[in-house]
């Protein structure tokens, strides 16, 4: 049974999760807004060309209940008992106009592994947004893909009008929960950085049940990053949210028992997209990078609302991670860049070291719009950045050629010095061609024009022609840091465009052998998506008790 809040509008489950029960309204007003919207679309939007991120293996797929006893080639090691999950955009309803890859409803694809056997499942995260569009039987919420030029301004007004006239209920936000996953305090969380987390439960058979939204007993009143960090030693989770209104960044600490501490406001000159951050044992590393929210330029220059300012420096703020205010933050400047994803950070003498995927001139329009012959690629390169807390100096060192993204580590080393980074190689911004292993103790080879084995590149698992993958997650053979850091496996989804079939691959992280340890053939196509996570058997049993 749930319990009602004092204001009688929000119901909570016994675990403190907000039961998401929006109350949208049908009627004459809603139909009138729909007609107005259709007229504006007809005048201002070209709907004749197919949208790229709804084609091929970007196309959405239906939910799949648990399908067990899948075909396994090779063997699934005991340490993989648990559930491998990956989230991504999967729009349930066709967009009324534009569509950006970041827009789709969050769907989680899971592979439940137990005693060498595998079960596949896929489920939508039951967000307020999804529930309301199911109620209407079509798309009603604005999309990133529409926020471009003067048409973007009208799209914003349509959303505001629907909310003001109670056609849409924004009590529970309007996020998609489509970006990333993390496990903390007995709950699997589905995340998108424009909203609060959605809590899920992994059932014994692998099925995924949305419990509701997490607002930490009303202490969370802002958005929540898709990339929080869990300290493997203390069990705490560190997070932040960014906003279009001051304070533009808000930093938070959540205890191992799930208690959210008071907010710490971080002052920066203007609103920016801050997709990730990092922690060390004593610090949090914030990033003020010039992918700026400038709606006036959206209208004036017919571009997306976030635009990259090539004239501004990249700024990194190092804050004591238990700080009660921003008074002790130290800011460092490096040449202009943007970062979507960090691998890790740690302390080394007077320096804070950040390992990250750095890129120049990001253009979010590259993952937007109509079908293109060849997708472009971001120039992501692995970098080491150093911030000297004593002298105030900052430096950076290039560790790879392009293009590398989705960096992962053995997460038992989060916030501590580690040796190995596992990333994905990219043929285009959305097409993963392989998995790459970097050795940070080795020097990068100079004079290379592309990524290849040698120097600090210890191995590359190439997926082959027409085969594309996803973020690879490291699963250690043994828990903790007693065994060797790279003693474990990498697990990831693969789709073969030649056959239309999808699979899960498991490879040896130590050897990076071209021969997979296991391949699990999947009964359904798995679209390309975003971030993945591995829920251990211990975590499944822990959350089952809650």
- Give the residue among 171, 225, 167 at the shortest CA–CA distance from 197: 225
Write phi, then psi, for 83 (nearest 5 degrees).
-140, 125
β-sheet bridge partners, residue 37: none
Judge contact between 256 and 185, C-beta under 8 A: yes
> Any idea what DSSP says for residue 411?
G
- Give the residue among 103, 96, 108 at the shortest CA–CA distance from 136: 96
The side-by-side arrangement of strands in the sheet containing 64-67 is 64-67, 117-124, 106-114, 82-89, 532-536
Extended beta strands in 479-517, E state = 488-496, 501-508
Judge contact between 427 and 372, C-beta under 8 A: no
Write phi, then psi, for 387 (nearest 5 degrees).
-125, 115
Helices (H) and strands (E) counted in the chain, each on its own, are 5, 36
User: Which residue shows structure tokens 């949305």?
Assistant: 210
Measured CA to CA, the distance from residue 131 to residue 21 in angstroms comes to 8
Write phi, then psi, for 209 (nearest 5 degrees).
-115, 120
β-sheet bridge partners, residue 437: 422, 459
Measured CA to CA, the distance from residue 440 to residue 460 in angstroms comes to 15
Write phi, then psi, for 466 (nearest 5 degrees).
75, 5
> Is 341 assigned a ligand-binding role in the annotation?
yes
> Is 222 assigned a ligand-binding role in the annotation?
no
Supply the Cα-derived Rg of the chain in whole angstroms.
23
> Is 275 assigned a ligand-binding role in the annotation?
yes
Measured CA to CA, the distance from residue 462 to residue 491 in angstroms comes to 14
Judge contact between 531 and 105, C-beta under 8 A: no
User: Which residue shows structure tokens 């595998």?
Assistant: 118
CA distances from 360 to 122, 187, 271, 517 (A): 35, 36, 19, 36
- Give the residue among 336, 335, 388 at the shortest CA–CA distance from 362: 336
Provide the token pair at 114. Answer: 């137990």
- Give the residue among 357, 346, 348, 353 at the shortest CA–CA distance from 332: 353
> Is 45 assigned a ligand-binding role in the annotation?
no
Neighbouring C-beta atoms of residue 353, cutoff 10 Å = 19
Neighbouring C-beta atoms of residue 304, cutoff 10 Å = 22
Q: Give the annotated binding-site residues for Fe cation.
A: 227, 275, 341, 531
Binding site listing: 227, 275, 341, 531
């Amino acid at each position: 049974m749930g319990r009602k809040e004092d204001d009688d509008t929000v119901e909570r489950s016994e675990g403190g999760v907000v039961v998401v029960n929006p109350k949208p309204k049908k009627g004459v007003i809603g139909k009138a807004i729909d007609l107005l919207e259709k007229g504006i679309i007809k005048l201002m939007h070209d709907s004749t060309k197919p949208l790229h991120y709804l084609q091929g293996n970007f196309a959405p797929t239906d939910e799949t209940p648990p399908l067990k006893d899948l075909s396994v080639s090779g063997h699934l090691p005991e340490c993989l008992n648990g559930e491998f999950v990956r989230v991504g955009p999967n729009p349930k309803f066709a967009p009324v106009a534009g569509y950006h890859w970041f827009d789709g409803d969050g769907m989680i694809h899971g592979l439940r592994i137990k005693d060498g056997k595998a079960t596949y499942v896929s489920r939508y995260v039951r967000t307020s947004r999804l529930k309301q569009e199911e109620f209407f039987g079509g798309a009603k919420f604005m999309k990133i893909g529409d926020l471009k030029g003067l048409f973007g301004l009208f799209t914003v007004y349509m959303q505001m009008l629907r909310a003001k006239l109670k056609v849409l209920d924004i009590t529970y936000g309007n996020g998609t929960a489509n970006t990333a996953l993390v496990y903390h305090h007995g709950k699997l969380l589905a995340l998108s950085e424009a909203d609060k987390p959605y809590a899920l439960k992994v059932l014994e058979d692998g099925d995924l049940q949305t419990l509701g939204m997490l607002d930490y007993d009303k202490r969370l009143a802002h958005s929540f990053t898709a990339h929080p960090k869990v300290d493997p030693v203390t069990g705490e989770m560190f997070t932040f949210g960014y906003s279009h209104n001051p304070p533009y960044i808000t930093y938070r600490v959540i205890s191992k028992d799930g208690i959210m501490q008071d907010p710490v406001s971080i002052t920066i000159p203007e609103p920016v997209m801050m997709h990730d951050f990092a922690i060390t044992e004593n610090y949090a590393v914030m990033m003020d990078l010039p992918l700026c929210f400038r709606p006036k330029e959206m209208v004036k220059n017919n571009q997306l609302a976030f635009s990259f300012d090539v004239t501004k420096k990249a700024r990194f703020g190092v804050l004591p991670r238990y700080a009660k205010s921003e008074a002790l933050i130290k800011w460092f400047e490096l040449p202009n860049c943007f970062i979507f994803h960090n691998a890790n950070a740690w302390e080394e003498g007077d320096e804070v070291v950040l390992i990250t995927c750095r890129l120049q001139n990001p253009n979010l329009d590259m993952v937007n719009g109509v079908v293109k012959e060849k997708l472009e690629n971001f120039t992501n390169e692995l970098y080491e950045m150093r911030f000297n807390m004593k002298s105030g100096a900052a430096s950076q060192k290039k560790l790879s050629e392009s293009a590398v993204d989705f960096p992962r580590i053995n997460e038992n080393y989060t916030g501590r010095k580690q040796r190995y980074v596992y990333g994905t190689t990219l043929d285009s911004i959305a097409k993963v061609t392989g998995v790459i292993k970097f050795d940070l103790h080795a020097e990068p080879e100079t004079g290379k024009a592309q990524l290849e084995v040698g120097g600090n590149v210890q191995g590359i698992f190439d997926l082959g022609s027409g085969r594309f993958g996803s973020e690879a997650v490291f699963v250690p053979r043994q828990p903790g840091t007693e065994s060797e850091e790279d003693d474990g496996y990498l697990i990831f989804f693969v789709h073969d465009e030649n056959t239309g079939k999808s699979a899960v691959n498991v490879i040896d992280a130590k050897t990076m052998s071209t021969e997979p340890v296991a391949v699990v053939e999947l009964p359904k196509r798995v679209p390309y998506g975003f971030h993945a996570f591995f829920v251990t058997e211990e975590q499944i049993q822990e959350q089952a008790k809650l």
